[in-house]
Structure 1
Amino acid sequence: MSAVPTVRLSGGLEICRILNGMWQVSGAHGVVDKTKAVKDMQDYVDAGLTTFDLADIYGPAEEIFGQFNSQFTSSGDDISCLQSLTKYVPRPGPMERKVVEKAVRRSMTRMQVDRLDCVQFHWWDYRDKRYLDALGHLSDLQQEGLIRELSLTNFDTQRLMEITDKGIRISSNQVQYSVVDQRPAAKMEQFCLANNIQLLTYGTLAGGLLSERYLGKAELSKGDLYTASLSKYMNMINIWGGWSLFQDLLATLDMISKRHNCSLSSVATRYVLDLPAVGGVIVGCRLGVDGAGKHISDSLQSCSPDLVLTAEDVTAIKAVTQRSRDLMALIGDCGDEYR
């Protein structure tokens, strides 16, 4: 098995280019067996997928990581081989130092760590400028050693520029990026490349819709959208161009996957991994439910050095995506769908 490729963030933290996303344990994707979830994490680590993406609002995600972290440490394994990127998603309100530090220490306690590898900050309303206060305090906590990397989640290019102009060093920005949603390429990509900011992308598999499972299928009904991810990304597909165009995209990805003897999902992931400024792709991990093995296999396949998309492959994909609607015009820049 080839080693999982890594990328180094600006503060020195080395992470896998395929990250294990833990949104699926938040409760919006069905019942999760927490004990099994902790046990399942070992399968990902054993496969070399050692970087986990979580959040303080993802239900028990931080506690699940903490339990695994504790077991991993007590077994004598080297804890430095695990990386955990959590999110701080505060409710609107005063962002005094004590409020921010309390949230950081709460995550540290839940995750059973003595400092946070990375805090990815999210803010709901740009009209409330107290996000700058929060980031200022987070930057201070970083200087004091409680946080290694300070990052963002779903911030647009304008605000990213504003924050860096304040002298706050940002390591990464987590944004939606896929063969369907290519908004980061419009503005953000160029700024990130110029400022050593990595893009960590989610939605790259559209909640599982970018897979063989949906190739050649009739348009999904509301009853078919049984997880929060499926509902979210089906809505994005409808805005982007609809089910018929999406089927053309799946057929093209399937053709390419057969050429490379890999899965359709691996091609979709590899396409984004190869884009400028993309440091890593977050793939939702199957913790506490059945079916993790195939999922791990696809993730490893997508970052294998044996999978090299050709110019012909990329041209074929663009021939479909160029027929879609302009999501920048319809939705706005990265993260605008949340505001």
Structure 2
Amino acid sequence: MATIPKVQLREGLEICRILNGLWQLSGNHGHIDQEKAVQSMPAYLECGLTTFDMADIYGPAELVYGAFYKKLLAKKRQEEVINIQGLTKYVPRPGPMTRKIVEEAIDSSLNRMGLNSLDCVQFHWWDYSDKRYLDALSHLSDLQAEGKILELSLTNFDTEHVKEIVNKGIKISSNQVQYSVVDRRPMMKMAEFCESQGIKLLTYGTIGGGLISEKYLGAKEPRGSEELNTASLDKYKKMIDAWGGWNLFQELLQTLNSIAKVHTCTIANVATKYILDMPAVGGVIIGCRLGIPGAEHIKENLKSFDIRLTPDDINKIESVLKRSSDLMQAIGDCGDEYREK
């Protein structure tokens, strides 16, 4: 097993600085064969990528993880069982958040994943005007104290509401947010506050669903559902449009490519390392196309750890980024794109 850089969260959970994202199991990225998905997971462990990120709303993601975990137990591979981390999310629809409702949701995740305690629960809430998210977090904090949850975290909360939650005395381990060379909103306010509180940022969208890659360097602008045929491609293409459009994005890809050639790596490696080096960032989540031959780039992704971006590299990247639109002004703070204004 390779030695992969890790980071420790507030309560002591050690996770890899590249996390295996299971959003692709949600059903919005094409058909996934669950059995093949389980069969493809050991390859990640063999390369030292032991941290998996999922959610209760990602289709069968928790079940796939649970089946994989059960296989490890059956084979008595205790070292791998001990060293694997499963981070999930609790994403309820706004409504009453009683102890019973919250505990039943956590128990459901425990049952699906085949665990006695959840390594990390990352809570998301759709509507800030419904303040019952504070009720949910209070109950989650109680369940944490009782041992059902190790790390209590957030997903897509903005800086204002992270501050509110922290000021309520709830100890938050991490906040999962979109963060990339295109979307740098976390560096505006979020990173500084989280760093001051010992809260790690776990970032997604860091390679733009695959758009930040050689595949799209010099390519014509993709349009329509046939070319943007996954939820990731559609989502991050819209972010590129808001950021500055396809022509400026091509300039960014050309710059990243010139840096990648010097470091003998890929555009995605450079984009990933750029974010890994940012203050408060604990890890980057890279989506896994489990069970799809040729869709996994495990060893390629690991090269991100070998890069040392120079001040000149950073200056070249930021010379392009400074000509982009202000996404804080256009969209709002982290996660605001998921909520009505």
TM-score normalised to the size of structure 1? 0.98
Aligned partners of 1:18 and 1:303 also within 8 Å: no
2:125 partner letter = W
For 2:198, the equivalent position in structure 1 comes to 196
2:275 partner letter = V
1:324 partner letter = S
2:84 equivalent among 72, 82, 85: 82
Distance in 2 between residues matched to 1:50 and 1:2, nearest whole Å: 11
Structure 1 SS opposite 2:320: helix
Aligned partners of 1:265 and 1:298 also within 8 Å: no
Q: How big is the shift at 1:298?
A: 2.2
TM-score normalised to the size of structure 2? 0.97
Q: How big is the shift at 1:77?
A: 1.3
Structure 2 SS opposite 1:303: helix
Distance in 2 between residues matched to 1:265 and 1:316, nearest whole Å: 16
Structure 1 SS opposite 2:284: strand
Cα deviation code 1:205-231 (max 9, x no counterpart)? 000000000000111121210100000
For 2:153, the equivalent position in structure 1 comes to 151
1:59 partner letter = G
Between 251-260 and 214-223, the greater mean CA deviation after superposition: 214-223
Moved over 6 A (4+): none
Unpaired runs of at least 5, structure 1: none
Distance in 1 between residues matched to 2:24 and 2:324, nearest whole Å: 29
For 2:53, the equivalent position in structure 1 comes to 53
Matched, 1:9 2:12: no
Cα deviation code 1:309-332 (max 9, x no counterpart)? 000100000000110000000000
2:303 partner letter = Q
For 2:242, the equivalent position in structure 1 comes to 239
1:267 equivalent among 265, 270, 281: 270
For 2:118, the equivalent position in structure 1 comes to 116
For 1:177, the equivalent position in structure 2 comes to 179
Structure 2 SS opposite 1:233: helix
Cα deviation code 1:44-99 (max 9, x no counterpart)? 11110000000000000000000000001111112111000000000111000000
Structure 2 SS opposite 1:101: helix
Cα deviation code 1:150-186 (max 9, x no counterpart)? 0000000000000000000000000000000000000
Structure 1 SS opposite 2:41: helix
Distance in 1 between residues matched to 2:54 and 2:324, nearest whole Å: 32
1:312 partner letter = D
For 2:336, the equivalent position in structure 1 comes to 336
For 1:301, the equivalent position in structure 2 comes to 303
1:286 equivalent among 274, 284, 289: 289
Distance in 2 between residues matched to 1:73 and 1:203, nearest whole Å: 32
Distance in 2 between residues matched to 1:10 and 1:291, nearest whole Å: 36
For 2:100, the equivalent position in structure 1 comes to 98
What is the count of residue pairs matched by the alignment?
A: 336
Distance in 2 between residues matched to 1:327 and 1:198, nearest whole Å: 22
Distance in 2 between residues matched to 1:299 and 1:218, nearest whole Å: 25
Kindly report the root-mean-square deviation, in angstroms, between the aligned alpha carbons of the 2 structures.
0.8
Distance in 1 between residues matched to 2:320 and 2:82, nearest whole Å: 43
Aligned partners of 1:155 and 1:173 also within 8 Å: yes
For 2:167, the equivalent position in structure 1 comes to 165
Between 61-70 and 74-83, the greater mean CA deviation after superposition: 74-83
Distance in 2 between residues matched to 1:177 and 1:118, nearest whole Å: 20
Aligned partners of 2:209 and 2:233 also within 8 Å: yes
Q: Write the mapping of 1:4-43 to structure 2, written as runs, cut at 5 A.
A: 4-43=4-43
For 1:315, the equivalent position in structure 2 comes to 315
Q: How big is the shift at 1:288?
A: 2.0
1:158 partner letter = E
